[in-house]
Structure 1
Amino acid sequence: MHAESPIKVACIQMEPKIGEKQANVARSLEKITEAAANGAQLVVLPELCNSGYVFACRREAFALAEPVPDGPTTKAWLEAARRHDLVIVAGVCERAGDALYNSAAIAGPDGYVGTYRKVHLWGSENLFFEPGDLGVPVWKTKFGRMAVAICYDGWFPETYRLAALQGADILCVPTNWVPMPDQPANTMVMANILTMSGAHSNSMYVAAADRVGVERNQPFLGSSLIVSHTGFPLAGPASKSDEDIIYAELNLSDARSKRVLNSFNQPLRDRRIDLYDEMLGTGIKRGWY
């Protein structure tokens, strides 16, 4: 499959149960099978969908963590990716030695693609996890170039920009969105607004899969969505309360071939890199845009 070919993306919105890792993984595999039967070639699942999110203590988090890619959860997703001939991006509680990371495993039909570790930790995550140390990698897949972010990473424009400048056509976002302070009831959830903004400003598709439910008194917002490189939703926002799978057919090559806003303006080209550092001071090798 070429980058110019349309692909079908699925975001799986599910409700993991804290501590019920085996059942959570089994549920994810059921949903992946359903998405594959509906033609999905890229599937995104929520943050920490194998373990649940609201840990009572570090001991509990450590007990639920496992290595990537050699742990049982990633192995199950690798087998599903191979069997269904698709790419899976899914949140996993990762253990690396004595360190824990809020991570995403990327599994492809030909095997393990890579790991993303959440860079910006939210709330009590700081008690359990180390900040991500792998940066914002971009992986080349058979359908295009892909980057990953997790939840609170989406509050930082740098996340989108670093992915875009390294050539990403799509940003996959496993997430566990929670209510924001002072959010008016009649407005779109802030996470959706930020996702749409990041996609628009960087001419990059975004596929964000959230969870639903209430876990240890923490409500989650659902509202998964798939956003065009224009910033407008292609699918979703999904329900705020129910499990669901949303789908969108898209052409990743449009993210780079149709990013001109008018005769004069193209946001990535119009950056004033004479006034600020091209790669935001990261030292990452420049990609293509």
Structure 2
Amino acid sequence: MTVEEDQGFSHLVVAAVQMAPRVGHTADNVARSVALIEQAATQGASIVVLPELANSGYVFASRAEAFALAEPVPDGPSTQAWAEVARRCNVHVVAGIAEREGDRLYNAAVVLGPRGWLGTYRKLHLWGDEHLFFEPGNKGLPVFHTELGRLGVLICYDGWFPETYRLLAMQGADIVCMPTNWVPMPHQPTDRPAMATTLAMASAHSNGLNIVCADRTGTERGQPFVGQSLIVGARGWPLAGPASIDSEEILCARIDLRASRQARHLNVFNDVLRDRRDDIYDPMLGTGWPLPPH
């Protein structure tokens, strides 16, 4: 389904794919993800988000293993397989991938449309052992302009930093696609949803952004993942999910882009972007204050 025009409002269906990649089983992981993308497309989705490192798995034993499982973008086999299913199903796909550029590795996400590769986002904030394998992202926070709206991308731990969402919103993003591999947080109450879901809801509300969080499930080399994939609307309330902790699922939700862009207007007086005190900090979050002497 592409954007529908219905009485002046633009509607589209987004999907978060929750799956369980297995480290080292790249061909199987990609084949399973392609099948799930196809299923999401049959449910009307025009944007499909896959988990973080959906092709390679997450818990690497060594940098040599990570390097062997990483691929060039956009010419590697995983990106090419996702590009083909995006073309065939007429969808946009955002998929987490272990990217290799020369001798550098990045925890990245490729953005693909029916006409091919649109660009790559590289995770800015590395978590835990990722520091042993990956370089911090060096492509900033791009916004991809598509016929379906303006797409931003974040990966997992990036969502702990409110600046990332704010900078995407300031660039006009409509939807933030988040491939993620959420792990249990210390002191997380067992009877409460994952902290990551709360952060996504708060960030959506405070920036007027739709956020599509596609998490993985399962336990890999002793590391459990929490599932609970989620699609949050621009007013901060869940549109679909949270998903289960331990099952593959496809969450779908309909987004009204016109209404989403109006969500930043909280009332006749207040707008979450307009009300920013840019006399204190500049619109793109720099303070403008002199650095302290070294």
Question: Do the aligned residues in 1 keep the contact of 2:280 with 2:287 (CA within 8 Å)?
Answer: no
Matched residue, 1:80: 85
Q: Structure 1 stretches of 5 or more lacking a match? A: 284-289
Asked whether 1:179 is paired with 2:184, we answer: yes
Matched residue, 2:105: 100
164, 172, 197: which one aligns with 1:167: 172
Matched residue, 1:276: 281
Q: Secondary structure at the match of 2:246?
A: coil
Asked whether 1:130 is paired with 2:135, we answer: yes
Which amino acid in 2 is paired with 1:143? Answer: L
Matched residue, 1:141: 146
Which amino acid in 2 is paired with 1:42? Answer: I
Question: 2: CA distance between counterparts of 1:240 and 1:254?
Answer: 31
The one-character-per-residue Cα deviations of 1:224-266 (angstroms, maximum 9, x if unpaired) are 0000000000000000110100000111222222321122211
Q: Secondary structure at the match of 1:24?
A: helix
Matched residue, 1:90: 95
Question: 2: CA distance between counterparts of 1:276 and 1:6?
Answer: 35
96, 112, 117: which one aligns with 2:117: 112
Q: Secondary structure at the match of 1:6?
A: strand
Matched residue, 2:292: none
* 1:2 CA drift (Å): 7.0
Which amino acid in 2 is paired with 1:146? Answer: L
43, 46, 68: which one aligns with 1:41: 46
Question: Do the aligned residues in 2 keep the contact of 1:226 with 1:235 (CA within 8 Å)?
Answer: yes
Please provide the CA RMSD for this pair.
1.3
Which amino acid in 2 is paired with 1:184? Answer: P
* 1:282 CA drift (Å): 10
Question: Do the aligned residues in 2 keep the contact of 1:205 with 1:252 (CA within 8 Å)?
Answer: no
Counterpart mapping for 1:1-289 below 5 A? 1=3, 4-281=9-286
Number of aligned positions between the proteins = 283
The one-character-per-residue Cα deviations of 1:26-58 (angstroms, maximum 9, x if unpaired) are 000010111111111000000001000000000
Question: Do the aligned residues in 2 keep the contact of 1:212 with 1:242 (CA within 8 Å)?
Answer: yes
Question: Structure 1 stretches (4+) deviating beyond 3 angstroms?
Answer: 1-4
Question: 2: CA distance between counterparts of 1:143 and 1:107?
Answer: 12
Q: Structure 2 stretches of 5 or more lacking a match? A: 289-294
Question: 1: CA distance between counterparts of 2:145 and 2:101?
Answer: 25
Question: 1: CA distance between counterparts of 2:29 and 2:263?
Answer: 39
TM-score by length of 1: 0.96
Q: Secondary structure at the match of 1:240?
A: coil
Q: Secondary structure at the match of 1:100?
A: strand
Question: 2: CA distance between counterparts of 1:105 and 1:256?
Answer: 25
Question: Do the aligned residues in 1 keep the contact of 2:40 with 2:48 (CA within 8 Å)?
Answer: yes
TM-score by length of 2: 0.94
